[in-house]
Amino acid sequence: MSKPTVITGAAGFIGFMTAKRLLSQGKPVLGIDVVNDYYDPALKESRLEVLGQYENFRFERFDLDDGERVRSLIGEIQPELLIHLAAQAGVRYSLTNPGAYSRSNLSAFVNVLEACRHAQTGHLVYASSSSVYGMNKSYPFRESDVVDHPVSLYAASKKANELMAHSYSHLYGMPTTGLRFFTVYGPWGRPDMALFLFTKAILAGDPIQVFNRGHMMRDFTYIDDIVEGILRVADMPATADADWDPGHPDPASSSAPYTVFNIGNGNPVKLLDMISALENELGIVAKKDLLPIQPGDVEVTAADVSRLQEAVDYRPSTSLAQGIHEFVAWYKSYYAVS
């Protein structure tokens, strides 16, 4: 049997769906997750039950902040590929729980980097975020943009991950690829995300909180398109850019085997238009509380995905209407809502 792909955050939304895709292809997966209570652990346990139906799935429940255990396990597996999707997510949560981000997004990432270095892992793919673009107002966002002005601790921790990964690529020749995710949604999604929150509230007859009075724009990206991009990138370890110029450095590449990609839909949508599409799918008009923008939020996310298209022929194909249809169908089935 081939060595398993290691996926951290396997009980999380993107980790679960990535593991499920690999397992459905007959490939072995080792999942790692602490299964914390940032959101309903029951949903995470349900995801793990699905993965547990595959005979090639192994699961280890522990905190990546435990560096000794991370190094021991990765050293035992000696994986060719590690997909690091575990993190403390959420922009607004970082305003009140900053310590969770230093542990889960910084300390844990150092442990993963060290484990991969000692195990000589062939490729580390890790989750970054569109939030790193922060105060950038040049749309669409390009990987070549300077991203030195984050507006939340979450965003700063993700930018830090990219810098930390580069240092390991430079020092040890370790191929690392960062993926800047843009507003991922779909079945089995996170309960703290807007589509999930809106669906729950509308079906219950409760008002929805619409920040920035609905004038924010988001590059909503369906989970199947995200997983396809992850796995295409995973099969293409980062390489050194022979043309990289330290006099005019491209932030997305390096003379080391390091790269960063946007992974989004490339078609930003106004939040009010997303809500309208959800209302059409549910057949219910939402009660809306129009509120000002929240600290840490950005007004627009818009991905230029041309680098990813060129590298791996990444072409997201799921429309927002179809994606919302799939999500609502899953939501009603999972929560037994008519």
Least confident piece of the model among 52-61, 84-93, 121-130, 145-154: 84-93
> pTM (2 decimals)?
0.95
Q: What pLDDT, on a 0 to 100 scale, did the predictor assign at position 201?
A: 97
Sign of CA dihedral 104, 110, 113, 118: negative
Q: How confident is the model at residue 2 (pLDDT cuts 50, 70, 90)?
A: confident
253-269 pLDDT, tens digit each: 999 999 999 999 999 99
Q: Is residue 47 scored above 90 in pLDDT?
A: yes
Q: How confident is the model at residue 92 (pLDDT cuts 50, 70, 90)?
A: confident
Q: Strands 217-218, 269-270: parallel, antiparallel or unpaired by DSSP? A: antiparallel
Q: Is residue 46 scored above 80 in pLDDT?
A: yes
**What domains are there in the chain, each with its CATH number?**
5-183+220-265+302-316 (3.40.50.720)
Q: What pLDDT, on a 0 to 100 scale, did the predictor assign at position 89?
A: 86
- DSSP lists the bridge partners of residue 82 as 6, 124
* Of 154, 168, 185, 314, catalytic: 154
Structure tokens at 13: 């939304």
Question: Across residues 164-190, what is the average pLDDT?
Answer: 98
Q: Is residue 338 scored above 80 in pLDDT?
A: no
Q: Is residue 41 scored above 90 in pLDDT?
A: yes
Give CA–CA dist 279/242, Å, rounded: 51
Q: Is residue 333 scored above 90 in pLDDT?
A: yes
Give CA–CA dist 81/67, Å, rounded: 19
Q: pLDDT over 70 for what percent of the chain?
A: 100
Give CA–CA dist 257/172, Å, rounded: 10
Least confident piece of the model among 123-132, 172-181, 297-306: 297-306
Average pLDDT, the chain: 95
Question: Across residues 88-109, what is the average pLDDT?
Answer: 87
**Is 154 known to be catalytic?**
yes
178-218 pLDDT, tens digit each: 999 999 999 999 999 999 999 999 999 999 999 999 889 99
51-90 pLDDT, tens digit each: 999 999 999 999 999 999 999 999 999 999 999 999 988 8
Give CA–CA dist 303/288, Å, rounded: 28
Give CA–CA dist 260/241, Å, rounded: 12
Q: What pLDDT, on a 0 to 100 scale, did the predictor assign at position 97?
A: 87
Q: What pLDDT, on a 0 to 100 scale, did the predictor assign at position 196?
A: 97
Question: Across residues 313-332, what is the average pLDDT?
Answer: 97
